[in-house]
Amino acid sequence: MANLEVEYCGVRFKNPIITASGTFGFGYEYDEYAPLSEYGGFACKGLTRQPRGGNKPPRIAETPSGILNSVGLQNPGVEVFAEYIMPDLAEKFDSNAIANMSGNTIEEYAEMAEILSETAVSLIEMNVSCPNVKHGGLAFGTDPAVVEELTREVKKRCSKPLVVKLSPNVTSVADIARAAEAGGADGVSLINTLLGMRIDINTRRPILANNTGGLSGPAVRPVAIRMVHEVYNAVKIPIIGMGGVMTGDDVIEFMIAGAKLVALGTGLFVNPSMILDVKRGILEYMDRFGIKDINEIIGTLTLNE
């Protein structure tokens, strides 16, 4: 039998397939389509320090080969997750739960990391594509110095492996990844969504109530593959790759570029049980090339001369 098991930040994953935060809720609904035990792990809905109602609708707009979303981090808050949701997830599901957190200040991030470290989550993913209210509202993840400072301060109060989720809306994603590594991050994940807009030509207004939103889906996959490759060659910490994964071949492509884990996201809206097809595709690829261990293909890209 081919080995699909991988180790990420010291945590064992039965296979390299996880889910992207924001596309999977807390997993309950998707378990009805395919057991959560099929996944190596799943990233829960993004959490904030206090509960959030999210943005007003419309919050989703379809685009060619993708969607724009401006849901606005609707969630029950980190304390509700820690006290009620995570204990239930740990009892019901045999898979690694990954917490995702967003904040407006370094202190908020640090507080959430401390709270989440006391739960049964396997990893804590830190979304740095959030406005830094103390620095004019610019996203934390666009400034290497800020990313390094944020990561260092959060790491002091985080006893679980800390994964920094990188924004693609930057000049050099490799520089941001190096800053996260310098700050003590245990891993990085990428990419988060690309900033986009759609316009209703009849009203001449944006379709999304929030005007702009995050683009995800197959349209972003080539960008994500390129960025994963760049980051793999820039840092030594392990990578979670994501962006438009629809098939087992897509997972393989991300792993060849350098990802150790690969997340399913927008594709789950099209096919909620796609994990089954994706795993089948990975095994078929491994059989076709005589690969016994999935770890053999990580970072094996050979560039053209």
Residue ranges in the chain whose pLDDT is less than 70: 131-138
Backbone angles phi, psi at 255, to 5 degrees: -70, -40
Tokens of 103: 């904040």
44 is catalytic: no
All domains of the chain in start order, with CATH: 6-56+69-195+216-297 (3.20.20.70)
Q: Which residues contact 171 (CB under 8 A, 6 or more apart)?
A: none
**CB distance 179 to 230 below 8 Å:** no
Check 9, 44, 130, 158 and give the catalytic one.
130
**DSSP letter for each residue of 45-60:** PPB-SS-B--PPSP-E
Sort strands 66-69 and 96-101 into parallel, antiparallel or unpaired: unpaired
Tens-place pLDDT, residues 108-158: 999 999 999 999 999 999 999 876 556 655 678 899 999 999 999 999 999
Determine the pLDDT at residue 134: 62
pTM above the 0.85 mark?
Answer: yes
Determine the pLDDT at residue 140: 87
Give the single-character DSSP code of 46: P
Determine the pLDDT at residue 133: 56
The C-alpha angle 81, 133, 115, rounded to 5 degrees, equals 25
How many beta carbons lie within 10 A of that of residue 91, not counting itself?
A: 8
Q: How far is CA 5 from CA 8, 160, 162, in A?
A: 10, 20, 21
Give the single-character DSSP code of 295: G
